[in-house]
Amino acid sequence: MAHNKAKQNLEINNIEVDFDLEEIEGSLSKQLEDSFSDLAFLEREREMIANPDSLGKVVAEEVWKQFGNQIGLDITNETLIQRYDREHPEQYQDISRSIMNDKRYKEETEAMKKQQQSGKLKDAYTGKDLRRNEKANLDHVVTRKELFENERRKQANIDVAELANKKENLKPTNESLNKSKGAKSNKDYLTKREIREKTLIEQNKIANEKVDHSNMSAADKRLQKEINNKRLNDKLSAKDDLMLRADKEARKPINRDIRVGATKEIGKKAGKDALKTMAISALFRLLKEIMNGLIRFLKEKSKSFNRFLAEMKQSISRFFTNMQSVLQAGASALIGTVISEIFGPIVSVFKKLASLIKQGVHSIIDAVKYLTDKKNKDKPFSVKVAQVGKIITAGLVGGSALFLGEVFEKVLLAVPGMQTPIPLMGTLANMIGLFLASLVSGLIGAIVLNMIDKFISKKLEEENDHEVISKKNKIINLQDKQLFVAENRVSVSRINVINEISANHKMAKEVMQRSLENIMPGAESTQTNQTNMTSENQSDLAKMQQDLAELL
């Protein structure tokens, strides 16, 4: 042991020390202190994992969450198309007649007649002049029926007559061609033109044969056949390029109005849905925090008004602290509304599909938020998968609650008094149905979520145990390093002391020798004696140094 220490001291003495051992020892002490603090935190965290009290709150939390969620989805479920159909129950026949009686259509018809009488009216589909004695019609290029059935028009909340009677959509043509076109679009009318013309020619031939076999006079027969042939020629004279050009010119402003109107209406609805959802979410969260505050107050042994105010203040403070979740609910509703309206024609066929889309959007946002959170970056992959599974499970539970609530509502509507309307919420049956659906789906969801929580807890416990072991090993390594540095610091200090004493002795020897030379110069015998005495003194000094080294 002594030999090793001497060797170590020799090595330290032979190298140039260019670092501060005291500073290194201080740094190690700080690291050791931080490691003990981290270890204490890990041990406290382990006690919280899989806490039975925390898991016991899952059921109540999930039922409460589902009820608030279902109300928020229910009041924003109606799409723009569904709302338009509810507010405009008119049939096509009623709309068609009103379009023909619209002021704009009548004014354009009068203007067409005046132009025809002046001899300046051209057939928009054949390119021929319409003579004064011919029957001219003002045709809706984009048909009234097509516009009536246009789902995007409903989203834009635009009246059919407003689009149908736009100046660009009204084109003059001969009566025969207009009737032949009927409710078909120009493109559809031209698609099977060859087959249709053969049919028209055949029909005209049959009509002329009937005239030939009739009892009319020869003059009347000739006149009627001329009329039939004129009608046929009017129909056959339609030019593809003119009809397609008229169709393109008419659709451009119509589509522009629909696009602008739909964008505005979707934006307005998305904003309103977001505000409604945020209001419901905020209300339920506030009520939840106040109820928790009341429970805490009632559990207190000593109750006072000041204590009650303190609990309410704490509840409100927690509510505002969690406002981010309210904003997230609003963002989910906004995005969900936009997506559901983009697929509006499909979504509107199913009553609850819009709410289902919003529920899915909310789940996706939650999953992305969890995976991108820096706090979850270093968590095990299995835990991340399980947490995303929880989010998806909550989404599926919410989706099932939507349809379950509809089932309960239909059953409850048969009960007297359940049809009572509730402002903004629907009927009493609807509200009770939502609560029952939330209760059932919440219980089922809570059971599944509890199972996932147990799996996550197990994985977190394993991870925690691994971190605790790793932290303890780090502490042991730091302690070993700290001990090594301390020992070397003592060794270096001892060597420095010995070297300093030796230097002092050497200096004293030189001083004494110079002093003796000055007192007795040339006394060689004396000098010899002095040398012998010095040698004896050096031996004594070496022995003292050895004793001091052993003592240190």
pLDDT at residue number 2: 44
- Can you tell me the mean pLDDT for 57-80? 67
Burial class (CB in 10 A: 0-12, 13-18, 19+), 100: middle
Lowest mean pLDDT among 146-155, 170-179, 187-196, 354-363: 354-363
pLDDT at residue 303 is higher than 60: yes
Cβ pair 204, 176 in contact under 8 A:
no
Cβ pair 543, 551 in contact under 8 A:
no
Cβ pair 449, 387 in contact under 8 A:
no
- The tokens for 256 are 């522009």
pLDDT at residue number 543: 64
Of 226 and 17, the structure prediction assigns the larger pLDDT to 226
Local structure of 413: helix, strand or coil: coil
pLDDT at residue 463 is higher than 50: yes
In the chain, where the domains are located: 2-35+474-551, 83-264
pLDDT at residue number 58: 52
pLDDT at residue 479 is higher than 70: no
Burial class (CB in 10 A: 0-12, 13-18, 19+), 97: exposed
The amino acid occupying position 407 is: V
Triad 377, 380, 381: Cα angle to 5°: 90
- Can you tell me the mean pLDDT for 2-15? 44
Of 522 and 106, the structure prediction assigns the larger pLDDT to 106
pLDDT at residue 401 is higher than 50: yes
Confidence band (pLDDT; 50, 70, 90) for 354?
Answer: confident
Triad 144, 148, 152: Cα angle to 5°: 125
Residues whose CB is less than 8 angstroms from the CB of residue 370 and which lie 6 or more positions away in sequence, other chains included: 376, 384, 387, 388, 391
Rounded distance, CA 367 to CA 360, Å?
A: 11
20 φ/ψ sector (left φ>0, alpha ψ -120 to 50, else beta): beta
- Can you tell me the mean pLDDT for 319-343? 86
pLDDT at residue 51 is higher than 60: no
Q: Find which of 166-170, 180-184, 325-329, 367-371 is predicted with most confidence, using mean pLDDT.
A: 166-170
pLDDT at residue number 24: 59
Give per-residue burial for 499-521: e unless 16+ CB within 10 Å, then b: eeeeeebeeeeeeeeeebeeeee
Confidence band (pLDDT; 50, 70, 90) for 224?
Answer: very high
Confidence band (pLDDT; 50, 70, 90) for 520?
Answer: low
pLDDT at residue number 546: 64
pLDDT at residue number 156: 95
Confidence band (pLDDT; 50, 70, 90) for 55?
Answer: very low
pLDDT at residue number 186: 92
pLDDT at residue number 482: 62
Q: Where are the beta strands (DSSP E) in 400-499?
A: 421-422, 426-427
The amino acid occupying position 193 is: R
| Average pLDDT taken over every residue of the chain | 77
Lowest mean pLDDT among 82-96, 127-141, 380-394: 380-394
pLDDT at residue 278 is higher than 80: yes
- The tokens for 272 are 């309103």
Rounded distance, CA 272 to CA 293, Å?
A: 31
The tens digit of pLDDT for each residue in 279-289 reads 888 887 888 78
pLDDT at residue number 15: 41
The length of the chain is 552
pLDDT at residue 489 is higher than 50: yes
pLDDT at residue number 356: 72
Rounded distance, CA 426 to CA 465, Å?
A: 53
Which residues on neighbouring strands pair with residue 367, listed in sequence order?
Answer: none
pLDDT at residue 528 is higher than 60: no
Residues whose CB is less than 8 angstroms from the CB of residue 132 and which lie 6 or more positions away in sequence, other chains included: 116, 117, 119
pLDDT at residue number 161: 94
pLDDT at residue number 389: 67
The tens digit of pLDDT for each residue in 413-446 reads 777 777 777 665 567 776 777 677 666 766 666 6
| Cα dihedral 289, 294, 298, 304 sign | positive
Cβ pair 418, 432 in contact under 8 A:
yes
* 3-state SS record for 78-111: CCHHHHHHHHCCCCHHHHHHHHHCCHHHHHHHHH
Rounded distance, CA 432 to CA 301, Å?
A: 37
Rounded distance, CA 327 to CA 332, Å?
A: 9
pLDDT at residue number 68: 66
% the chain with pLDDT above 90: 28
pLDDT at residue number 5: 45
**Of 253, 322, 327, the residue nearest 292 (C-alpha):** 322
